[in-house]
Structure 1
Amino acid sequence: MKLTKFVSFAWRCLPRISSAECRNLDFRVHKTILLNLLRNRDYSYNQICPYCKKTENSELDEDEDEIFKDLKNKLRSVRLAQDPHQVFVIQPYIKWGPKMLKNTTPQLQLEEAEALVSTLPQWKVVSSLLVPLTSFDKATLFSKGHLENIVQKTRSQQTISSVFVNVKSLQLHQHLLLEEMLQVPVFDRHSIVINIFKNHAKTKEAKLQVALAEIPYFWTRIKGINEGEVFQVSNVGIGSGQTFEETRIQILRERERKIKAEINKLRENRQLLRSKRKGKEFPTVAVVGYTNAGKTSLIKALTNEAALKPENKLFATLDVTLHAVVLPTNVKVLLVDTIGFISNIPSNLLEPFVVTLEDALWADVIIHVQDLSHPDRKAQEQTVLSTLRTLELPQNLLNSIITVGNKVDKIEEGQEIPEDILQVSCVDGRGLKDLMNILEKQVYKNTGLKKIKIKVPNGGDEYRWLYKEAAVFSVEEDDKNPQFLILGVAISHAKLEKFKYEFIVKASKMK
């Protein structure tokens, strides 16, 4: 075993030994042994670590998992997010200037923040507050007066167990200062959404994506862990030494690399499945929209799938799922249910889910579902459209989006409804038939499917071929010759050319 290899291995043990653990004699002995191994160039490099009994060839994933869990435990807001909380929600907002939001209101932002908290099991909003700001970059975030008010309220109201500051991501110094002053865990939008993702992730793919989305949050918080960061060992023949912080960074990089490798495997599997679907020429329709707009409910209403269980909560869907529906002309289409979008989150939080959103990139048609009853519908629409543009979708696909206004049954009397949005209700079925007709036209236009009539022998090879390879939507007897049928079929250009070759070109060659 080379010294450099053993040194990198031996250092894996050191980050697990916190200052608290060093009070235990066994851990002090373990650290001393490892340091001696690193410093003594004459030491036998085939020696295993006497404490943990690991060699260079041992499986190190388990060690990395332990170290990563140790790192998570030292991040207070990550560790305590696993527990139920009674939350004081604070909605900061810019009260004037170019950074003031014009497409929504502070009150609507606060209501969404409260909905995010309520999505987590056993979490409850016990208090809320709107706080005007002049900038999000102030060291304390809030002005002196507002900060004193928040501290007084947090400390005096014993039911408050944590504070949620509804900003995209708190800067590290802001986060540390607020936790020190408030004496409770402080969460930002990034950490709350991550925890919702973790709670809703069921499949291996979703869990990997959540794990990758979590890493950027650790990058921003790793310097805030106060655990003897100045400790380092140098003069070991491999450079200037490493601090615990540097070691943690290495661990995060390695974890990130492994997760990305796993996700790339899943991407390859998805590409293979897409190729198979394209080979069978199934048109695909991506159903996208803001979180909790009713995408799954719409798919259930169109397909009548009993197994689909729509839930009235944010980010209920993290995994992309496919659902077959038959259009009026008997063409089978695959509806793709996608993860919901949300505003004001770091871009790197959504990046891991691009592998699933790629199904939208390869779709033939996009249905954009909006919640007509939501007071912040316009801002939600802008969020979805801007997110779709970041995916670099083909312009013709963006230009042909079908916009569906869901939950029309919840519209209050006198509420303004946009005229250019197809109104539907998954509850009473309003608008669903119109949606199917519009969808069919768009599928035909975007895929090049043709509706034609073909005269074939009744029960002949042509008849069977068309039923297998195309969508037959009508059958009529030929008035002039009852031995023939006239089939109305929806067929792609490629399949039509194949039909001509099989039954016209070949037949003419045999004569």
Structure 2
Amino acid sequence: MEHDRKQTRAWVLHPDIKSDRDRRDAVPALEEGVALAAALPDLEVVGSTVVGLPKAHPGMLFGSGKIEELKTLFKAEEVELVLIDGPVSPVQQRNLEKAWKVKILDRTGLILEIFSDRARTREGVLQVEMAALSYQRTRLVRAWTHLERQRGGLGFVGGPGETQIEADRRAIDEQLVRLRRQLDKVVKTRTLHRAARAKVPYPIVALVGYTNAGKSTLFNRLTGAEVMAKDMLFATLDPTMRRVELPDGPEVILSDTVGFISDLPTELVASFRATLEEVLAADVILHVRDISHSDTEHQAEDVEQILSSLGVDEDRTVIEVWNKIDHLSEEEADACRQRADRNDSLYAISAITGEGLPQLLHDIAMKLQGVRVDEVLTLDFSQGKQRAWLFKQDVVQEENQTDTGFEISVRWTEKQKAQYAAL
């Protein structure tokens, strides 16, 4: 009975720290924080605030005046949980919880919560548990409080009963070692699956992008599959693979991956490496962007940064897909279409209306196999080896026997033509 449970009243704060050179634009950052919180079914976000600060206060994060002001606000709004969209040290967390008499969760804790709620595969679950333990290990300033849950989850957000667990570092480390062993086993079987798949001559097309860019909607549109495509951050956590036949092109395996996010906590980058390993095996990477988002440029930079940190090499085919042009004004949408017309690795599409998809699919097919051309070859009976090679390559469209041999119509790429010439 999901919906009968009482939701926790939460407030989102985004500390806009002026001394932080890398700080993001406060308004979209706060919106993202609220969207993150909305991704958890147990939370009801009752309000949100940007708090401007010259610099972070080491013990309390905020100054004493601001702490008092917020305390009054939280009390009036009956807030039970405050989500701080940024890093909060264990000491700051303990002090703020004492001052405000509410539970505090920082950005990392919130993302872990969401990840644990979304992970579907065995590997995903193990990765989240490990990330959560590494995070907890840094927080052993006080006894860690685990709150019971009726659903899965890590117990950072309140539930009905409260049980105290005295977890010391050794216990956590032992658990980490155990989880690491289990994960190695799971990853090994995945590697075997991948080896088996490598024998299948299907190229892999991976969808990557900032969270909520519309990857799952696009994936569903292309595969007819019902992958969870809610308008929620991190709706997809485990790589989802489907076979798709491209129009007059090869069959491909389409892979939908977890959404990227800026300032992804370090504990998570490491543990989600394997979820993104599929990307390293991809022949073509589709970088899906929500072009209607006010922060789309920064989001794209974050994605590119994570791809290069994963080790995606320069010569990999990356196609940029500007999604959600249906959210733009006609003028802006036209400007996007014109940019796309001038750049052959850029497409302006709408995964919702389907605009731009036929051209995108056609060009993916071209990039995967080069342009195929039709030719007619004349072989004599002695060229059995060449004839067998053509059939093995699956390029033969039609064959007619003549008095001296065979007339064979083929559709092939320049590369195949050159290979044939070298026989």
TM range (shorter): 0.7 to 0.9
| Aligned partner of 2:119 among 173, 198, 201 | 201
**1:67-116: CA deviations, max 9, x gaps?**
xxxxxxxxxxxxxxx97311111111123x56253xx4211111111111
Deviation at 1:347, TM superposition (A): 1.6
Counterparts of residues 403-482 of structure 1 (less than 5 Å): 403-415=320-332, 418=336, 419-420=339-340, 421-444=346-369, 453=375, 455=377, 469-472=392-395, 474-475=397-398
Q: Does the 8 A contact of 1:470 with 1:489 survive in 2?
A: no
Write out per-residue CA displacement over residues 460-494 of structure 1, whole angstroms, 9 at most, x where no aligned residue.
99989866x5455854869999964413146986x
CA distance in 2 between counterparts of 1:215 and 1:427 reads 39
- 2:207 touches 2:257 (CA, 8 Å); kept in 1? yes
What is the alpha-carbon distance in structure 1 between the residues aligned to residue 32 and residue 349 of structure 2?
24
**C-alpha distance after superposition, 1:141-174 (max 9, x if no partner):** 112221111111112222x12111110x310110
Q: CA RMSD in A?
A: 3.3
Q: Measure the CA separation in 1 of the matches of 2:327 and 2:53.
A: 35
Residues 91, 109 of structure 1: 8 Å contact kept: yes
Work out the CA distance in 2 between the residues paired with 1:480 and 1:407.
Answer: 59
Q: In structure 2, which of residues 80, 86, 93 is the aligned counterpart of residue 161 of structure 1?
A: 80
Question: Secondary structure in 1 aligned to 2:261?
Answer: coil
Q: Indicate how the Cα distance of structure 1 residues 108 and 357 shifts in structure 2: closer, same or farther if over 3 A, else same.
A: same
**Alpha-carbon distance in structure 2 between the residues aligned to 1:480 and 1:293:** 60
SS at match of 1:276: helix
Following superposition, the deviation at residue 383 of structure 1 comes to 1.1
Counterpart contact for 2:115–2:234, Cα < 8 Å: yes
**What is aligned with 1:310?**
229
Q: Which residue of 2 aligns with 1:295?
A: 215
Which one has the bigger helix percentage? 1
Output the CA distance in 2 between the equivalents of 1:268 and 1:356.
Answer: 13
Of 258, 263, 276, which residue of structure 2 is paired with 1:344?
Answer: 263
The answer on whether the counterparts of 1:368 and 1:404 sit within 8 Å (CA) in structure 2 is: yes
Secondary structure of 1:427's counterpart equals coil
Report the structure, 1 or 2, having the larger strand content.
Answer: 2
Which of 332, 355, 358 aligns to 2:274? It is 355
Deviation of 1:202 after TM superposition, in Å, equals 2.1
Structure 1 counterpart of 2:314, one-letter code: Q
Matches within 5 A, 1:17-416: 84-95=7-18, 97=19, 99=21, 101=23, 104-136=24-56, 138-158=58-78, 160-167=79-86, 169-225=87-143, 248-303=168-223, 305-397=224-316, 400-415=317-332
Whether the 8 Å CA contact 1:331–1:471 is kept in 2: the answer is no
User: CA separation of 1:456/1:146 partners in 2, compared to 1, >3 Å: closer, same or farther?
Assistant: farther
Q: Relative to 1, partners in 2 of residues 1:279 and 1:407: Cα closer, same or farther, differing over 3 Å?
A: same
- Equivalent residue letter for 1:440: A
Secondary structure of 2:21's counterpart equals coil
Structure 1 contact 404–423 (Cα < 8 Å) conserved? yes
Query: Which segments of 5 or more consecutive residues in structure 1 lack a partner in the other structure?
Result: 1-81, 228-243, 505-511
CA displacement at 1:223 relative to structure 2: 2.2
CA distance in 2, matches of 1:277, 1:225: 47
Partner of 1:16: none
Judged with a 3 Å threshold, the aligned counterparts in structure 2 of structure 1 residues 127 and 206 are, in CA distance, closer, same or farther, namely: same
Q: Any idea what SS the aligned residue of 1:196 has?
A: helix
User: What is the TM-score when the length of structure 1 is the normalising length?
Assistant: 0.68
Q: CA deviation at 1:132?
A: 0.7
Q: CA deviation at 1:315?
A: 1.0
What is the rounded CA distance, in whole Å, between the counterparts of 1:156 and 1:194 in structure 2?
29
Three-state SS of the structure 1 residue aligned to 2:272 is: helix
Q: Secondary structure at the match of 2:14?
A: strand
- 1:428 CA displacement: 1.9
Return the alpha-carbon distance in structure 2 between the equivalents of residues 352 and 183 of structure 1: 33
Is the contact made by 2:57 and 2:63 (CA closer than 8 Å) also made in structure 1?
no
Per the TM alignment, residue 256 of structure 1 is displaced from its structure 2 partner at its CA by 0.9
Q: Distance in 2 between matches of 1:130 and 1:480?
A: 84
Mark the runs of 5 or more structure 2 residues left unpaired by the alignment. 146-164, 341-345
Is contact 2:82–2:105 with CA below 8 Å preserved after alignment? yes
Q: Secondary structure at the match of 1:130?
A: strand
1:408–1:470 CA distance, 2 compared to 1 (3 A): farther
> Cα distance 1:492–1:137, how it changes in 2: closer, same or farther (>3 A)?
farther
Q: Is the Cα contact below 8 Å between 2:240 and 2:256 reproduced in 1?
A: yes
2:355 counterpart letter in structure 1: R
Q: Which has the larger radius of gyration?
A: 1
- Tell me how many residue pairs correspond in the alignment: 388
The CA distance in 1 between the partners of 2:41 and 2:182, in whole Å, is: 29
Shift of 1:248: 2.0
Change (3 A) 1:126 1:226: closer
Partner amino acid for 2:118? H
Q: What SS is found at the alignment partner of 2:233?
A: coil
DSSP-derived class of the 2:353 partner:
coil
Contact 1:206 1:319 in 2 (8 A): yes
Q: Report the residue type matching 2:368 in the other structure.
A: V
Work out the CA distance in 2 between the residues paired with 1:330 and 1:471.
12
Q: Secondary structure at the match of 1:344?
A: coil
Write the distance in 1 (CA, Å) between the matches of 2:51 and 2:352. Answer: 38
